[in-house]
Chains A and B, each alone.
Chain A
Amino acid sequence: MFHNFRILLTAVAIGGVSLAAIPAPAAAEEFPNGPIEVINNSKPGGGSDIFLRFATEQAAEILGTSFIHQSKTGGVATNTLNYVADKPANGQTLFIVNAGTALTMMRGSVDLTKDDIVPLVRGTIDPEFIVVKAGRFTDAAEFIAYAQSNPVKQAGTKVGGNPHVSALIMRDAIGMSDQVYVPFEKSGEIVINIINRNVDVALLNYDEFISQANAGEVEALAILTPERSANAPDIPTGHEVGIPVDIAVVRGIGVLKGTPEPVIKKLETALLESMNSDGYLEYLAGSGQDASSIAGREAFGAQFEAMYEGYQAVAKDLLGG
C-alpha cells in the first residue's frame, strides 16, 4: 500500500512537469519511475540475495530511486521467472541471472526462454576448487588416477540443480569410473564430511574451504579456471593437471527483452558504476574475487549463452530427456 503511495508521490512529482506522460512509453529521462524491484531465487540472506543487495546498493543513489528486494523461491528459479514474466518490459523489474535461471529455462517449466531476457551485468564469477582431505592425495594426478579406477563419493548440494550439473561435468572431464553424488544442505556440512572421510571430494568456492585449508584439514588440488587465481597462486588450474573444464558460480542481473534501449543503457551504466564502488569490491574480495568478475552486457550475454549450451549437454541425463 505505502509502496503504491510512494509510487504515487513520485508520479505526482514527475507528472507535475508533463501531465500527459502516463500512457506514453517510458523514455530514459523518465526512468526510473518509482522504486525498482529486484527479484531473486534464494531465501532472504542466501547467496544471491546478498549479492543483489550489494550490487544495487550504490545504484540507488546514482538512479535516484530505491531498490526493493524480493525473494521468489521455489522450483530453482521457476517462481522468480514466472513473477518476472508478468511484469511490463520497462526496466522497473530486475532479476537474478545465474545457472539456476539457465537450468529452469532449459527445463521449460516457465514461459520465458533465454531469448526473452537480456543478461545485463555480471557481478560474480566465483571459481570452483576441487577439494579433498589434506594429505590424502599427493597431487591432482594421483586423485585422477584414483577416481578412474575406484568409486568416488562426491559431495555437493541440490540434486538435479546446477551444482549437480557441475559435478557431472567434472566426472566426464576426469573420466571417473563411478561417481556417487552425496547431497548436503550447506557447504559447511560438506567440509566436515570431507574431513571425517565420509565423502572423498567436493567442488567448493574459495571462501567455503579456505579456513579449513589454512588449518591444514583440507586442500585444494586444482582451480577450475583458465588461469591461476591471485589468492591462491600455488594451486594449479584444471587445464594444467588434465581436467580441462571451467566451472564457476556466475551471478548477474537481467532485464526483460523489449525494454527500451535507452533504459537498458542507463541501467547497465548505473549498475556497473555501483559495482565498481569500494563496498562492492570489498564484498568480492570476501570470496577471493576482484574487479575482473564485473562485466557488462556484451561479455555477460556471451557467457550466459555459452553456459546455457555447456549445461545442455550434461543436463540431458538429469532432466530424464
Chain B
Amino acid sequence: MEAFFLVLQFLADPYHLAIIAGGTLVGLIVGALPGLGSVILIALMLPFVVRMDPTTGIALCAIVYCATTYGGSITAILINTPGTPAAAMTTFDGFPLAQKGEAGRALGIATFSSAIGGILGILVMIVATPLLAQVAYQFGPAEFFALAVFGMSMLASISGASMTKNFIGGAFGILLATVGTDLTTGVQRFTFGQPDLYEGVAVVQIMIGIFAGGELLRQATQAHLKRRLIAAGVTKLPSREDFRRIWKTVLRSTGIGTFIGILPAEGGKVAAMIAYNEEQRWNKKRRGQFGKGAIEGVAAPEAANNAATGGTMVPTLALGIPGGGSTAIILTAMLILGLRPGPQLFVEQPNLLAGIFGAMLGANICFLVYGMVGAKFFSRITLVPTTILWPCVICLACLGAYSFQQSMFDVGVMVFFACLGYFLNRHGYAPAPIVMGLILGELIETSLKQSYLIYDGNLFAILQQPIAAMFLLLSMFGLCGPLIAKAIGAYRDRQAAHLRGNDE
C-alpha cells in the first residue's frame, strides 16, 4: 500500500508530469519511425540522463522505453511497416483494417490494448517483482530451447495459403537466422566473404524490406485504382462493442507478455509473436478472420509487447540482469548513477522504484491520451493518395534502414528483401512464418548447442528438465492437433463425397 502512495507522490510533481508528457511524445515518434527504436534513443540520451537526479533520469529512460514500444504500432497499422520489431505482428491485422478504411478503429484498438497491457504489466510488477524474479533463475538453455520450439510449433495452426508453405517459410526464416558467425565455433556461415554479413543479417532490415518494400511493390500494381475512403469512416474510433469484444484477448495476451518479458534475454518481439499465435489458436469465434483485419489480431500483440516492457524491468531491477537491449542500457545508466540493482534495491530505494513505476504508469496513461486523440489525425494518413504516400514511406524506410548502423549495406539488404517479399507473398508464402523463423531460429540453434555442451552431448537431458519437458509436450500438441484435425476433416469430406457419390 505504501508503494502505491509513493507512486502517487511521484506523479503529483508537475516537473515529473512534464517529463512524462515530453518523453512519451519523443518516444512515440521515434518508435513509429521504422528502423529506429528505444535502444538507439536511450543510447543517445544516456550522457544527459546521467546528469539528472537518479530517479528522474531512470524514470525518463523507462518512459521512453514504454512509448517507443507503443509507437511501433502506429506505422505498422498505417503503412504496413513495423516501427520496431516488436510491432511486426501488429501489421498482420492492423494494415488490412487500415486498407478497409478503418485506420482509426485499428489505432484505437492498438492504443487501448497497449495501454491496458502496459498498465497491468506494471501493476503485476509493483506487486510481485521479487517473487517473479525467481522465475528468471529457472530459465537456462534447455528451457529456452523448449520455449522457442513451442513458438515454432504454432506454424501448424496459423492461417495461410497452406500448412506446407508455412513450414517452408519458417525454415527459410531459420536459415536466414543462421547467416553470420556461428556462436559455438566462430565459423562464418553463408557470409560469402562479406564482412557486413559476419554479424548476421539485421532482423530490422529484413522486416522493413519484407513489410514496407513488399507492400510498395504490391501498391505499384494498384496505383491507378481510385480508392474511395470516407474521412468520417477512417477517423472513426473503436466502438464500445469493439472494446467488449477484445477485453478477454487483452487479458490473455497481457499474461503471456508479462511472463515472456520476465525471462532474461527475451523481449517484446517474442512476446507479441506468441500472444498473436495463441490468440489464433484459442479464439475459435474469429477463426479464418485473422490476417484479414480481425481486431483481436491487433489487440493481442500490442497488449503483449507493452506488458513485456513491464516484465523486462523485473529481472533488470530485481536481479541486475537485463531482459533486452533497452533494459541493458537502462542498467548501465543505473550503475553510472550509483544505483545497484538487486533484491536489496527494493528495501533501500523505495523512492526510486516508485519513480520508475510511476513514470511507466504515467507514460502508459499519457500515450493512451495521445493515441486516442492522435488516432483521429494519424488515421488521415491513409487518405493521402497512394502516389504521394508510398514514395515517402519507402524513403523513410531507406533512411531508417541506414540509420540503424549507418550502413549502406543495410539499405541494400532492405531493397533485396523488398523484391523477395513481393514474390514470396505473391506465391502464398506469408511474412508471418518467415518472421517467426527469423526471430526464433537463432534462439533454437544457440540454446540447442549450449545444452549440448552443458549436458556433455546428451540432448535427452533436456527432457529431464521439468519446465522444458512441459513446453516440448505443449509443442507436440500444438503441432499434432491441427494435423489430426485436418486429417479427420479430410476423412469426413471423403466420406461425405462418397455418400454423395452413392446418391447420384
Q: Do chains A and B directly touch (beta carbons under 8 Å) in the complex?
A: yes
Binding site for B on A (CB under 8 A): 43-45, 49-50, 53-54, 57, 70-76, 78-79, 82, 109, 153, 158-161, 164, 180, 182-186, 188-189, 191-193, 195-196, 198-199, 207, 210-212, 214-215, 279, 282-283, 285-287, 318
User: Would you give the shortest CB distance from B246 to chain A, in whole angstroms?
Assistant: 34
Contact status B343-A215, CB under 8 Å = yes
In angstroms, how far is the closest chain A Cβ from the Cβ of B190? Answer: 14
Chain B residues whose CB sits within 8 angstroms of the CB of A109 once the complex forms: 195
B47 close to A53 (CB less than 8 A):
yes
Whole-angstrom distance from the CB of A290 to the nearest CB of chain B?
14
Contact at B137–A195, with CB atoms within 8 Å? yes
Of A78, A153, A282, which one neighbours B336 at CB under 8 angstroms? A282
CA distance A75 to B409 in the complex (A): 14
* CB atoms of B140 and A214 under 8 A apart: no
Cross-chain pairs A/B with CB under 8 angstroms, 30 sampled: A44-B405, A45-B325, A50-B46, A57-B47, A73-B199, A74-B197, A74-B199, A75-B198, A75-B199, A78-B195, A79-B196, A82-B195, A109-B195, A153-B453, A159-B186, A180-B453, A182-B454, A184-B450, A188-B265, A189-B264, A193-B140, A196-B138, A196-B140, A198-B141, A207-B335, A211-B321, A212-B321, A212-B342, A283-B336, A287-B335
Q: What is the 8 Å Cβ interface bit string for chain B, positions 241-281, against chain A (1 contact, 0 not)?
A: 00000000000000000000000110000000000000000
Where the two chains meet, the residues of B that have a C-beta atom closer than 8 Å to any C-beta of A are 39-40, 42-43, 46-47, 50-51, 136-141, 181-186, 195-199, 264-265, 315, 319-323, 325, 328-329, 332, 335-338, 340-344, 404-407, 446, 450, 453-454
A153–B454 CB distance below 8 A: yes
Q: How far is the CA of A164 from the CA of B181 in the complex (A)?
A: 14
Please, how many angstroms separate the alpha-carbon atoms of A54 and B406 in the complex?
20
A44 nearest CB across to chain B (Å): 5
A99 CB, nearest partner CB in chain B, Å: 15
Nearest chain A CB to B377 CB, angstrom units? 28
Partner of B321, one of A49, A159, A180, A188: A188
Complex contact A211–B341 (CB within 8 A): yes
List A contacts of B454 (CB < 8 A): 153, 182, 193, 198-199
Given A53-B46, A198-B141, A211:B320 Cβ within 8 A: yes
Contact at B196–A285, with CB atoms within 8 Å?
no
Given A72-B407, A196-B137, residue A50 in contact with residue B332 (CB < 8 A): yes
A195: chain B residues within 8 A (beta carbon): 137
Q: Are A215 and B344 in contact (CB under 8 A)?
A: yes
Please, which residue of chain B has its CB at the minimum distance from the CB of A57? Answer: B47
Whether the pair B264, A192 counts as a contact (CB closer than 8 A) is yes
What separation, in Å, do the CA atoms of A76 and B344 have in the docked complex?
37
Min CB gap A4→B, angstroms: 15
Q: How far is the CA of A287 from the CA of B40 in the complex (A)?
A: 21
What residues of A have a CB within 8 angstroms of the CB of B139 in the complex? 192
A188 to B262, CA, bound (A): 13
List, in ascending order, chain B residues with CB within 8 A of A182's CB.
Answer: 450, 453-454
Q: When A50-B329, A57-B47, A198-B141 are in contact, do A188 and B195 touch as well, CB less than 8 Å? A: no
| A residues near B42, Cβ cutoff 8 Å | 45
The chain A residue sitting closest to B51, CB to CB, is A279
The smallest beta-carbon distance between B468 and chain A, in angstroms, is 12
Q: Given that A71-B406, A210-B340, A283-B50 are known contacts, is A45 also in contact with B39, CB under 8 Å in the complex?
A: yes
Query: How far in angstroms is the closest Cβ of chain B from A229?
Result: 15
Contact across chains for A286 and B405 when beta carbons are under 8 A apart:
no
Closest Cβ–Cβ distance, residue B337 to chain A (whole Å): 8
Bound-complex Cα distance A252 to B407 (A): 23
- Interface centre among A54, A211, A283, by most chain B C-beta atoms within 10 angstroms, is A211
Question: In whole angstroms, what is the CA distance A287 to B195 when docked?
Answer: 32
Min CB distance, B48 to chain A, in Å? 10
Whole-angstrom CA separation of A78 from B253 in the bound complex: 43
Q: How far is the CB of A222 from chain B (nearest CB, A)?
A: 21
Task: Give chain A residues whose Cβ lies under 8 Å from the Cβ of B265.
Answer: 185-186, 188-189
A285 to B333, CA, bound (A): 11
Distance A160 CA – B180 CA, assembled complex (angstroms)? 14
Residues of B within 8 A of A57 (CB): 47
User: When the two chains form their complex, are residues A79 and B137 in contact, meaning their CB atoms are under 8 A apart?
Assistant: no
B46 touches A212 (CB 8 A): no
- CB B464 to nearest CB in A, in angstroms, measures 13
A159–B322 touching, CB < 8 Å:
no
Contact of A188 among B43, B186, B322, B340 (CB under 8 A): B322
Distance between B50 CB and nearest chain A CB, rounded to angstroms = 6
- Report B-chain residues with C-beta under 8 Å of the C-beta of A153: 453-454
Q: Closest A residue to B341 by CB, please name it.
A: A211
CB distance from B211 to the nearest CB of A (A): 22
**Are B183 and A185 neighbours in the complex by a CB distance under 8 Å?**
yes
Please report the C-alpha to C-alpha distance between residue A283 and residue B334 in the assembled complex, in whole angstroms. Answer: 10
Q: Tell me if A159 and B185 are in contact (CB < 8 A).
A: yes
- Which residue on B lies nearest to A82, using beta carbons? B195
Smallest CB gap from B316: residue in A: A188
State the CA gap A161–B183 with chains docked (Å): 10
A53 near B186 with CB under 8 A, answer: no
Q: A49, A189, A279: which has the most chain B beta carbons within 10 Å?
A: A189
Give, as a whole number of angstroms, the nearest-CB distance from B55 to chain A: 16
Cβ–Cβ contact A192 & B137, under 8 A: yes
Residue of A nearest to B139 (CB): A192
**Chain B residues within 8 Å of A44, by CB:** 39-40, 43, 404-405
- Bound-state CA distance A283–B315 (Å) is 22
Docked pose: A265 CA to B325 CA in angstroms: 37
